[in-house]
Amino acid sequence: MAVVEWELKPTSLPDDVALTIASFLDTGSDVCSLGSCSRFWRELCAADCLWLDLARSRWPRLALSVRHDDNTSNHKGWRSFYITMHKRLSGCASIVIKSVEQWTNNDSLEVGNYLKAVSDLRSMDLGFKDVQLFLLAKKHSVLLNLIGLHYSIFCLGISPNDVTEALRACGVTERQVCVSWFKLGRWFYGFRLPDEHRSRKISLGELAMDKGEEVLGVLNRGVVHEVLRVHIKAANARTAQPSHSMGHLS
Residue 86 covered by a domain: no
Give the residue from 51, 76, 101 where a domain finishes: 76
Domain for residue 250, yes or no?
Answer: no
Q: For the chain, how are helix, strand and coil distributed in percent, rounded to 5? A: 50, 15, 35
Give the number of domains in the chain.
Answer: 2
Within a domain: 96: yes
Euclidean distance between CA atoms 51 and 205, whole angstroms: 32
**Same-domain pairing of 66 and 97:** no
- Do 171 and 54 share a structural domain? no
82 found inside a domain: no
Cα separation, 27 vs 169, in Å, equals 14
Weakly modelled stretches of the chain, pLDDT under 50: 1-8, 67-75, 239-250
Q: What's the pLDDT tens digit per position in 38-55? A: 888 888 788 888 888 888
What is the span of the domain harbouring residue 225? 92-245
Element (H or E) spanning 71, and its range? Answer: none
Which SS3 state, helix, strand or coil, does residue 191 take?
strand
pTM beyond cutoff 0.85: no
Contact 230, 249 (CB under 8 A): no
